[in-house]
A = this chain, B = another copy of it.
Amino acid sequence: MSFTAPHISTKPDWLDTIIKGDCVEALNKLPDNSVDVVFADPPYNLQLGGDLHRPDHSKVDACDDHWDQFSSFKAYDEFTRAWLQAVRRVLKPNGSIWVIGSYHNIFRVGAVMQDLGFWINNDVVWLKTNPMPNFRGKRFTNAHETLIWACPSQESKPTFNYDAMKTFNDDLQMRSDWVLPICTGHERLKDDNGDKVHPTQKPESLLYRVLLSTSNQGDVILDPFFGTGTTGAVAKKLGRHFVGCEREDAYIKAASERIDRVTPANDDFLAMTQGKRSLPRVPFGNLLETGLLTPGAELTDARGRFKATVRADGSLICGEHSGSIHKVGALVQGQQACNGWTFWHVKRGKALEPVDALRQVVRSQMPR
């Protein structure tokens, strides 16, 4: 599980290990100012209700573990303050801390961090390419999580590999929104029954980007909620040291074996961390939001046989039919499917143009 770092003559015994126990207690084993970067994925305090089923009646495997249960916001805040203070002692003055969370907990975490004097450099949103849908149709698909990147004080001068990030991002400044898939497939650790070992394993691509942007080779990376060790695995791969705190034996075992299998380094990781470079998607509704079309606008097909009217929500009305441009396009033609972008046209001056041309206008305003 360990790897050599020749320039460190006497390696502390806690380096590149997982300390068993609650993180506040476990961190007592570390000296002051001994850590360069912290990555923390604390419990989210989800407060779930009853069971949730998919439309096909299968049950959603919820995160209902005991470690995610708190009696109140106050209790959660106290827990948060305690681990942040413990982390603060071991973090170097110019070190960085990353915390990830969802709307259930991230606002509380961020406020406590500010109260303790941490200085926020950025919040970063992880946009999931493949989030779980909202099965009951009662909310927006919860398609992102939030990371806070902060320093121990306003005076801190953290590592930020600006040029590496810019190169990484096709010579554009790296933005605060990162598009990455969730952790599935071979990367997801499974037990002997084929069940996931940890309910909330983070993708390695996320940790790559965190460590690549705000740490240097040989740095010490602390993860106070180590879980199945994504932080350790990526740290080792990138030539960083790690130290983790974890209470559950099953997670420690899985993480240790996982990190043992990691071979540090070449450059093949770059590909993994690249976001998708496909054309940005522009929903038809955008044309109304941005004023390129107004509710009541009339669309026709290229030959003018069918006429439809646009409503405020981006739906079309055409005789008895209503729905998306694709659905109504299919219905009026009596076909199974239709690309509404090329089927429907709009008058622009004297000429008829496919609405796809308006989509191009929107895209031209998007530098990405």
Which residue numbers of A lie inside 8 Å of B, CB to CB? 53, 57, 69-70, 73, 102-104, 106-111, 113-115, 117, 120-125, 127, 129-131, 133-134, 137-144, 146, 148-149, 154, 160-165, 167-177, 179-181, 187, 204-205, 208-209, 212-213, 238, 265-266, 268-273, 275, 280-281, 283-286, 288-291, 294-296, 309-315, 322-327, 335-338, 365-368
| Complex copy number for this chain | 2
- From the candidates B121, B165, B280, B315, name the one contacting A179 in the complex (CB within 8 A): B280
- What chain B residues lie within 8 Å of A125 (beta carbons)? 125, 127, 144, 146, 177
- What chain B residues lie within 8 Å of A291 (beta carbons)? 187, 204-205
- From the candidates B131, B269, B311, name the one contacting A312 in the complex (CB within 8 A): B269
- What chain B residues lie within 8 Å of A314 (beta carbons)? 167-168
- What chain B residues lie within 8 Å of A140 (beta carbons)? 122, 124, 149, 165, 173-176, 213
- What chain B residues lie within 8 Å of A177 (beta carbons)? 125, 127, 143-144, 177
A2 CB to nearest B CB, Å:
21
Tell me the complex Cα distance, A139–B273, Å.
16
- From the candidates B107, B117, B273, B313, name the one contacting A315 in the complex (CB within 8 A): B273
Q: Is the CB of B288 within 8 A of A208?
A: yes
Q: Is the CB of A289 within 8 A of B180?
A: yes
Q: Is the CB of B169 within 8 A of A285?
A: yes
Q: Is the CB of A326 within 8 A of B170?
A: yes
Which residue from chain B places its CB closest to the CB of A185 in the assembled complex?
B365
Q: Is the CB of A109 within 8 A of B110?
A: no
A81 CB to nearest B CB, Å:
13
A220 CB to nearest B CB, Å:
18
- What chain B residues lie within 8 Å of A144 (beta carbons)? 123, 125, 176-177
Tell me the complex Cα distance, A93–B325, Å.
36
A3 CB to nearest B CB, Å:
15
Tell me the complex Cα distance, A273–B268, Å.
48
In the complex, besides A170-B326, A266-B296, A269-B310, 18 extra interface pairs with C-beta distance below 8 angstroms are: A107-B148, A125-B144, A130-B367, A140-B173, A141-B173, A141-B175, A141-B176, A143-B175, A143-B177, A146-B146, A165-B313, A170-B325, A177-B177, A179-B366, A181-B290, A205-B286, A205-B290, A208-B288
Max chain B C-beta neighbours (<10 A), residue from A70, A127, A205: A127
- What chain B residues lie within 8 Å of A270 (beta carbons)? 295, 311-312
Which residue from chain B places its CB closest to the CB of A214 in the assembled complex?
B140
A364 CB to nearest B CB, Å:
10
Q: Is the CB of B289 within 8 A of A269?
A: no
- From the candidates B103, B168, B313, B327, name the one contacting A148 in the complex (CB within 8 A): B103
6 A-B pairs whose Cβ atoms sit less than 8 Å apart in the complex: A57-B336, A73-B115, A103-B148, A143-B175, A170-B281, A273-B315
